[in-house]
A and B are shown apart, each in its own frame.
Chain A
């Protein structure tokens, strides 16, 4: 297994798209955090500032999309180029290959997004001046690390969808739909079941970990993140079953 992990690490570090998607993720994360923090600071007393940690982590959603792209490319790139057949000749244990790829993408995504998350927190708080939160305040550290976890999980979601759909544009559309568009649309659903679906739907649940306080009517931070991980686990399991069954 270590050999397969090293192989996947070599693969991910040796293509330019990795550097670009990671760079875009960091720029979106820190840039958005700074932008929102600066405009909040400009509003001064008029701003209805509630959660200054959340403000500095505003870029999480966009950074998540960039990281999901990394995940999609890690596996979709192999299908686009035909490299997948060469890969499976070297590692015929398909689940082993998928597990190694997932582990490497998750490790890369987490280390970069953790750094980006802390950077945007400190940069944002510096801009917010006297309204700044501190790392020791209740829920703040959990939110900052949580943002990195959310971004990492979305990266793995991208990988799972890439393995399932085996087509880069299709997988990216699926990612945007599942983590960006559909979660917003669930707000429009009527009735009790609509509220429940809204609460449990992918990033509606997952985002809770980036807030210092529990929003009204939403899941608790870790519960929400666990629900988001369940969505990803189901997608990954479906991808694994099909990967084993389909011809490469």
Chain B
């Protein structure tokens, strides 16, 4: 178990991490989520004793990382796959790490096989592709057969095959009862791997909750409807959502305190607070033809955007904030996730 308490890191007047407290438990994948610059990497470096916290502490099963006798046997970490000496072979790189923690050389052979690097074990790692470097970093993390694994943005820059491989690996590690803590700025990635989420923005904790709860609590689906008589339909639905006769909410009724309403988006309407069935009934009752009627499920990405919009570094900076909204609209349009790469 990892226990972070009141973790704070200041660089001069800049606060990178601000009084962060959370726990990471074993047996599932915990996603550590936040926009770029939110303080994820700084937090992870502090967890691993590389950076000194200005205040607060992190304990790994009750002990600070720096005091672990053979840390690689307790915690495996992948921070930066390119943080290796390019002139060394993959085997020698792993061997020097193994020796420092009293891990037998036979284990090096094992992790090379697990990560599919046996064939290139005698090649210098400077010539490795990003995907191969990532595998080597994971081999190093697995070296000591640790109970706790930390991965910082492990899928960044990987091809779909590599992403799938890492996803499966993390799931399997968690299924074995290990603690898996993985950071990402990609909500869609976390949606597919993490069971639990710790969301931070500007160094502060925004949410610490299960992934399912996170989606349902912070976002809401809607009904998309198109009609040749859009203004009439809008007026009709406006009345219906307003007077409480709407007959059920969109999504699965977890939208909570969201206001119901109808908004015009180009050639279609977005209706919240009504099910698609209720919208269809209402339109039929008024004799209005519909060209499209669809329920759009709440997206994790949208929930994340909504939560972190306040806390992104560029929030409110005009163009940046505007772009954020457009991107979100794009996802609603497609009715599914859009990879946000930056």
Binding site for B on A (CB under 8 A): 3-4, 6-8, 10-11, 14-17, 77-78, 81-93, 245, 247-248
> Does A91 lie within 8 Å of B100, measured CB to CB?
yes
Q: A10-B92, A90-B101 are in contact. Are A82 and B71 (CB under 8 A)?
A: no
Binding site for A on B (CB under 8 A): 45, 48-52, 65-68, 71-72, 77, 79-80, 82-89, 92-93, 95-97, 99-102, 140
> Does A81 lie within 8 Å of B100, measured CB to CB?
no
Besides the contacts A7-B100, A15-B88, A247-B50, what 6 more A-B pairs have beta carbons closer than 8 Å?
A10-B96, A14-B96, A81-B83, A82-B84, A92-B71, A248-B45
Q: How far is the CA of A84 from the CA of B65 in the complex (A)?
A: 16
> Does B97 lie within 8 Å of A247, measured CB to CB?
no
Chain B residue numbers with a CB within 8 Å of A247 are 45, 50-52
Chain B residue numbers with a CB within 8 Å of A81 are 82-86
Q: A82-B82, A82-B84, A86-B83 are in contact. Are A248 and B51 (CB under 8 A)?
A: yes
A89 touches which of B50, B52, B87 (Cβ 8 Å): B50
6 contacts between A and B (CB under 8 A): A14-B88, A15-B88, A90-B71, A92-B65, A93-B66, A247-B50
> Does A3 lie within 8 Å of B101, measured CB to CB?
yes
Residue of B nearest to A16 (CB): B87
> Does A86 lie within 8 Å of B97, measured CB to CB?
yes
Chain A residue numbers with a CB within 8 Å of B72 are 89-90
Q: How far is the CA of A85 from the CA of B50 in the complex (A)?
A: 7
> Does B50 lie within 8 Å of A7, measured CB to CB?
no
Chain A residue numbers with a CB within 8 Å of B49 are 88, 92
Q: How far is the CA of A83 from the CA of B84 in the complex (A)?
A: 5
Chain B residue numbers with a CB within 8 Å of A16 are 87
Q: How far is the CA of A85 from the CA of B41 in the complex (A)?
A: 13
> Does B84 lie within 8 Å of A86, measured CB to CB?
yes
Q: How far is the CA of A11 from the CA of B52 in the complex (A)?
A: 26
Chain A residue numbers with a CB within 8 Å of B67 are 92
Q: How far is the CA of A13 from the CA of B218 in the complex (A)?
A: 55
Residue of B nearest to A94 (CB): B66
Q: A7-B99, A247-B51 are in contact. Are A85 and B80 (CB under 8 A)?
A: yes
Q: How far is the CA of A76 from the CA of B48 in the complex (A)?
A: 22
Chain A residue numbers with a CB within 8 Å of B96 are 7-8, 10-11, 14
> Does A14 lie within 8 Å of B92, measured CB to CB?
yes
| CB of B144 to closest CB in A, whole Å | 9
Chain B residue numbers with a CB within 8 Å of A6 are 99-100
> Does A77 lie within 8 Å of B99, measured CB to CB?
no
| CB of A97 to closest CB in B, whole Å | 8
